[in-house]
Structure 1
Amino acid sequence: MNLFNQDVDKGVDWGLLAKKAIRFSNLTLEEGMAVLEADDVELLPIMQAAFQVRHHFYGKKVKLNMIMNAKSGLCPEDCGYCSQSIVSTAPVSKYSMLDKESLLAGAREAIARKAGTYCIVASGKGPTDRELDQVIDAVQEITRTMPLKICACLGILKGDQAQRLADAGVHRYNHNLNTSKANYPSITTTHTYDQRIETVKMAQSYGMSPCSGVIIGMGETNEEIVQMAYALRELDADSIPINFLNPIPGTPLEEAQRVSPIQALKVLALFRFICPSKEIRVAGGRELNLRSLQPLSLYAANSIFVGDYLTTEGQEITADHQMIEDLGFEIEMCALSAV
């Protein structure tokens, strides 16, 4: 008896999971595991069920986000996946926080790429007050003159820093959980999982929309992936970027195996079932892990990054726009209006 027949015998009904998700009824651990461990012949039924949930909350709209690597390298953290960390020997650009004009130029490029959210990302454990001043100066100008939402990702924040970002007009703050609590010590030792949880909650408490996601492929078990989805549901993260590890030479995880395209799609479906009404974004590693199956990802996810990531290249922008058009989907433009 193959796994497909075993799943049927166990009564796995993907359509039922979709109905539970739409009603905000929690999947059990066993149901979550069933998604990740289903036979590959079940992929299309799983994606169809995920699309039912995605379509219920988002229709055929796709949100676009663009990253600006505002400060690169020079990081004291030892995150095993990151080419910018202190333990990495990967050849990456190293520069301090970009000036206001560079950040404004990035915002204009985000608009040209049809992105509704502009993500200002900086390496480091957390921003200095001077770095925060530079970001805030640019954010105030962007929010005053351009139809963009701003997401900041600057590391661990102090309360007064979170307040200043919110007051400046930062709509969303990103701080990824990255992996499970149990797996966290094997990925980084210079900060804790709980500190990440606290930062997400702090951003939320000051009125910024919480954005937090994961990196799949760092030695976590399937059960831990389900637990990661539960944790983000508990955090009430509005936006959930799902990254797939791109093993970069010179980093501690350079020998890790990439997630297969089919398994990556099952992960996206799982997060859609567990966090049904949230923005699920296919993020870093999309091109290398999903490869030719990239279009299928948007049957579960409703958001992607366009352009390059922090230190790795993304898909050419016209290819992303064409992929969305070919699917019969449409880009969701930012609802804000320029002054």
Structure 2
Amino acid sequence: MTDILTTARDRVLATGRGLDHDQLMQILDLPDDRIPDLLALAHEVRVRWCGEEIEMEGIVSIKTGGCPEDCHFCSQSGLFESPVRSAKLDIAQLVEQARQTRKTGATEFCIVAAVKGPDENLMSQVEQAVGEIYANVEGVDVAVSIGILTPAQVDRLKAVGVHRYNHNLETAASYFPQVVTTHTWEERRETMQLVRDAGIEVCCGGIIGMGESPEQRVEFALQLADLDPDEVPLNFLDPRPGTPFGHMDVMDGKDALRAVGMFRLAMPKTTLRFAGGRELTLGDLGVEQGMLGGINGVIVGNYLTTLGRPAEQDMDMVDRLRLPIKVLSRSV
């Protein structure tokens, strides 16, 4: 039987085609002593098909907490006894946050709101914020994440120059009912197809380590690959007190690294971004292994409800690993 990493080298590295279901399952079954080989190959794949540059992004919430949805991992839900309280930022604060994010070297700034989908007030605020950021902060692209959209809302975001839209599938379709019951996986998928059809870049990923099986982890990767996203934010569950998943164990670091390699070999041409939970799950050494194992994007600073590493620490890491940072080249 041909070694799976040899198969991956011939198929993914040489031709840019992702592995299939059975092959990805073999990746997750690799023994611990093969993880360095997996990550080395994943790094070769991402350099070959994505280039050497690392994309840095900052995120800020325009509306935190009080969400009516029941995503079991999220402390922003108003249905759980979690410590997050509702808060909002005004336009001037968003512009300043974008300016400070740009100073870290990031070229992407994402505006996020904890909602199922935007009402007219939120849409208008986002439109104004995007315009003000482009007018006042040079060298930054604006991304938005405000939930499930209608076709008309997608067109409005396109019109104000939104560069990329984030709405995560979160997990495999077969496992989604164990994670969320107040809306469907298909609703999320439909929004991202609308975004794709409008010509806005698609940012769509999720969280691993929420109790899904290895088979569902592979299912999730293939469903994302079918969507053909420009970016996949890869989060690891950081159990939040007061949420239904608050009791879960943190994912094993070796399994997390296998998953990083597996996602890269499923989507060789996609920006794969380290997001929430990487510090807790992998630690500093594991994060660096991931950066040399298929990852080519990082969220710098804090996340929506959890603390990340200081942005300067990530910038130092990227410099130490001699990874070039993507420079914004388009005019806005």
Question: What TM-score, normalized to structure 2?
Answer: 0.96
Q: Give the aligned residue type for 2:33.
A: V
Between stretches 132-141 and 305-314, larger displacement belongs to 132-141
Q: 1:110-259 residue pairs with structure 2 within 5 A?
A: 110-145=101-136, 146-259=138-251
Shift of residue 141 of structure 1? 2.1
Question: What is the alpha-carbon distance in structure 1 between the residues aligned to residue 10 and residue 158 of structure 2?
Answer: 36
Q: Give the aligned residue type for 1:256.
A: M
Cα pair 2:172 2:220 within 8 Å, conserved: yes
Shift of residue 325 of structure 1? 1.1
Q: 1:264-303 residue pairs with structure 2 within 5 A?
A: 264-291=256-283, 292-299=285-292, 300-303=294-297
Cα pair 2:203 2:230 within 8 Å, conserved: yes
Question: What is the alpha-carbon distance in structure 2 between the residues aligned to residue 335 and residue 264 of structure 1?
Answer: 33
In the alignment, what sits opposite 1:318? Answer: 312
Shift of residue 138 of structure 1? 1.3
Q: 1:76 aligns with which of 68, 89, 109?
A: 68
Unaligned runs of 5+ in 2: none
In the alignment, what sits opposite 2:92? Answer: 101
Cα pair 2:4 2:23 within 8 Å, conserved: no
Question: What is the alpha-carbon distance in structure 1 between the residues aligned to residue 301 and residue 10 of structure 2?
Answer: 35
Question: What is the alpha-carbon distance in structure 1 between the residues aligned to residue 170 and residue 34 of structure 2?
Answer: 27
Question: What is the alpha-carbon distance in structure 1 between the residues aligned to residue 108 and residue 61 of structure 2?
Answer: 14
Cα pair 1:18 1:52 within 8 Å, conserved: no
Cα pair 1:29 1:226 within 8 Å, conserved: yes
In the TM superposition, structure 1's runs of 4+ consecutive aligned residues that sit over 4 Å from their partners are none
Cα pair 1:306 1:315 within 8 Å, conserved: yes
**3-state DSSP of counterpart to 1:64:** strand
How well do the aligned residues superpose, as a CA RMSD in angstroms?
Answer: 1.3
**3-state DSSP of counterpart to 2:54:** strand
In the alignment, what sits opposite 2:45? Answer: 53
Question: What is the alpha-carbon distance in structure 1 between the residues aligned to residue 154 and residue 112 of structure 2?
Answer: 15
Question: What is the alpha-carbon distance in structure 2 between the residues aligned to residue 259 and residue 333 of structure 1?
Answer: 33
**3-state DSSP of counterpart to 2:194:** helix
The answer to whether structure 1 residue 335 and structure 2 residue 329 are counterparts is yes
Between stretches 166-175 and 57-66, larger displacement belongs to 57-66
**3-state DSSP of counterpart to 1:111:** helix
Question: What is the alpha-carbon distance in structure 2 between the residues aligned to residue 195 and residue 160 of structure 1?
Answer: 16
Question: What is the alpha-carbon distance in structure 2 between the residues aligned to residue 12 and residue 155 of structure 1?
Answer: 42
Cα pair 1:121 1:152 within 8 Å, conserved: yes
Question: What TM-score, normalized to structure 1?
Answer: 0.94
Q: Give the aligned residue type for 1:277.
A: K
Between stretches 58-67 and 72-81, larger displacement belongs to 58-67
Shift of residue 277 of structure 1? 0.5
Listed one character per residue, the Cα deviations across residues 174-200 of structure 1 (whole Å, up to 9, x for unaligned) are: 010001111111111100000000010
In the alignment, what sits opposite 2:22? Answer: 30
Cα pair 2:18 2:268 within 8 Å, conserved: no
Listed one character per residue, the Cα deviations across residues 10-29 of structure 1 (whole Å, up to 9, x for unaligned) are: 43241430331131334122
- Percent sequence identity is 35
**3-state DSSP of counterpart to 1:330:** coil
Listed one character per residue, the Cα deviations across residues 63-103 of structure 1 (whole Å, up to 9, x for unaligned) are: 1010111100011000100001123212113124x221111
Question: What is the alpha-carbon distance in structure 2 between the residues aligned to residue 62 and residue 21 of structure 1?
Answer: 20
